[in-house]
A = this chain, B = another copy of it.
């Protein structure tokens, strides 16, 4: 199937990705005289900053993942095409996508690539099966199953060492996602699950947060990092900094401390939130346009977020490298809107040479550590504690898509933060059983084959 102009040909904008960059770009084109084709791999937009709350039983999938098609239902000039983009041909101005066995070629006049980033294991992809990342709804639901499944297994075990291994949760990476996840696993075990078991005491679970960096939330640094660390430690999170992961297997990790000593941490449930790698589409764009890519595979764009020599191809969000801008929702939203506005200006006769460079307006960034406590940085202003947390609540509600999701999220938060319950504690059978079973099976197979292979070093 090939999507071709129908009737009078309007300027066609193809947008790749339904994250913050792609969605905001599409919505910014609502009143423009263009046809927008949004091609995305998932049928939902994802409010990624709250994914860790799906993983820890606070929010439902629907709260943070509205169907993109429903969000754009009333935007008549936009259509959503489900598919994985396989190739972009910037000379032919065409995008080839695939959904199952169905291949679609879509021509474009302007292109906005916002395909985001996935987890990076710094060359140690074999870690992924034992320490999954947290980038998609599937990841979050699987992690929920792994976390709750570990408690269930511990309840059934009467071996001291095995219990200790099952009740040790390791989060690799002390950036915002890692910090928020570690904080929530700690609250889950200390508050939510308190008294729910009869043979184990879930409040004794170890939650370990590891990072190679010398402080947590290094992007904030200084006072805020120290505050965050203090709050985490009061919650009972063990923080191990200056520590590199050298190996991950079904039963734990091997790590190397700053002084070079290697040691082992026995743990069944591990999560990886240590690094990101831009969508592989970045490499395609770079190769075709001569743009460079950075270490994370992000495309080095021109000041107007386009590829060199291709003023009609924009790259925004986590895929783009410009002025060391961080991988934040705000950068993607503003980039998407900027690209849309340049396209509209072009239709009005503006020459690409006249474009004003993209300028990121820093509205600040924040991370919640636990209920009632967050750290936030807005320009030079640093906020922490309860005021930071209220600001966090307010801003996240503001940006959630859809009135009903906002209400439903508020309700879930009221429950999770004021009572000791959580609404979304069901792990589907598939998630609890199948995945743990797969790990087990693999573990047994490997034991039979004698060893798990050489562990390589990771940062």
> How many chain A residues touch the partner (CB < 8 A)?
68
Q: Is A452 part of the contact surface with B, judged by Cβ < 8 Å? A: no
Assess the B43–A427 pair: CB atoms within 8 A: yes
Answer whether residue A79 sits at the interface, using C-beta atoms and an 8 A cutoff.
yes
A422 neighbours in B (Cβ, 8 Å): 70
* Contact pick for A42, options B57, B158, B405, B429, CB 8 Å: B429
Q: Is the CB of A158 within 8 A of B440?
A: no
Tell me the minimal C-beta distance from A237 to chain B in angstroms.
23
Q: How far apart sit A217 and B137, CA to CA, in the bound complex (Å)?
A: 37
Contact in complex: B421, A156 (CB < 8 Å): no
Give the residue name and chain of the B residue nearest to A152 (CB). B82
When chains A and B are docked, how far (Å) is the Cα of A443 from the Cα of B407? Answer: 43
Interface string of A169-207 (1 = CB under 8 A from B): 000000000000000000000001101111100000000
- Whether B152 pairs with A99 at a CB distance below 8 angstroms is yes
- In the complex, A295 has a CB within 8 A of chain B: no
Tell me the minimal C-beta distance from A434 to chain B in angstroms.
9
Find out whether the CB atom of B425 lies under 8 angstroms from the CB atom of A62: yes
A421 surroundings in chain B (CB, below 8 A): 70, 402, 404
A428 contacts partner chain B, Cβ-Cβ < 8 Å: yes
A447 is an interface residue with CB less than 8 A from chain B: no
Bound CA–CA A415/B62 (angstroms):
13
* Nearest-CB residue, chain B, relative to A444: B101
| CA–CA, A156 and B103, complex, Å | 9
Given A43-B427, A426-B62, A195 and B73 contact (CB-CB distance below 8 Å): yes
Closest Cβ–Cβ distance, residue A146 to chain B (whole Å): 13
For the complex, what is the distance from the CA of A349 to the CA of B294, rounded to whole Å?
79
Tell me which residues across on chain B come within 8 A of A419, comparing CB atoms. Answer: 404
Partner of A1, one of B63, B156, B415: B156
Interface residue from B44, B412, B429, B437 paired with A408 (Cβ < 8 Å): B412
Asked if A60 contacts B424 (CB within 8 A), the reply is yes
Beta-carbon contact of B428 and A102 below 8 Å:
no
Cβ-neighbour of A197 out of B69, B404, B407, B430 (below 8 A):
B69
Residues of B within 8 A of A424 (CB): 60-62
Are A437 and B100 in contact, CB atoms less than 8 angstroms apart?
A: yes
Chain B residues whose CB sits within 8 angstroms of the CB of A428 once the complex forms = 61, 136-138, 141
For A101, the chain B residues whose CB sits under 8 A away are: 440
Interface residue A81 (Cβ < 8 Å from any Cβ of B): yes
Instruction: List CB contacts (< 8 Å) of A82-133 with chain B.
Output: 82-83, 99-102, 104
10 new A-B contacts at CB < 8 Å, known A70-B196, A138-B430? A1-B156, A1-B157, A44-B427, A67-B426, A70-B425, A79-B198, A99-B152, A100-B153, A100-B440, A408-B412
Closest 8 CB pairs of A and B: A60-B60, A62-B424, A65-B426, A67-B425, A79-B198, A44-B426, A62-B423, A404-B415
- 18 CB contacts below 8 A, A to B, read A43-B427, A44-B425, A44-B426, A60-B423, A66-B426, A67-B196, A70-B196, A70-B421, A70-B425, A82-B156, A83-B156, A99-B152, A99-B153, A101-B440, A102-B153, A137-B429, A141-B428, A404-B421
By a beta-carbon cutoff of 8 Å, the part of chain A in contact with chain B is 1, 41-44, 57, 60-63, 65-67, 69-70, 73-74, 79, 81-83, 99-102, 104, 136-138, 141, 148, 152-153, 155-158, 192-193, 195-199, 402, 404-405, 407-408, 411-412, 415, 419, 421-430, 432-433, 436-437, 440
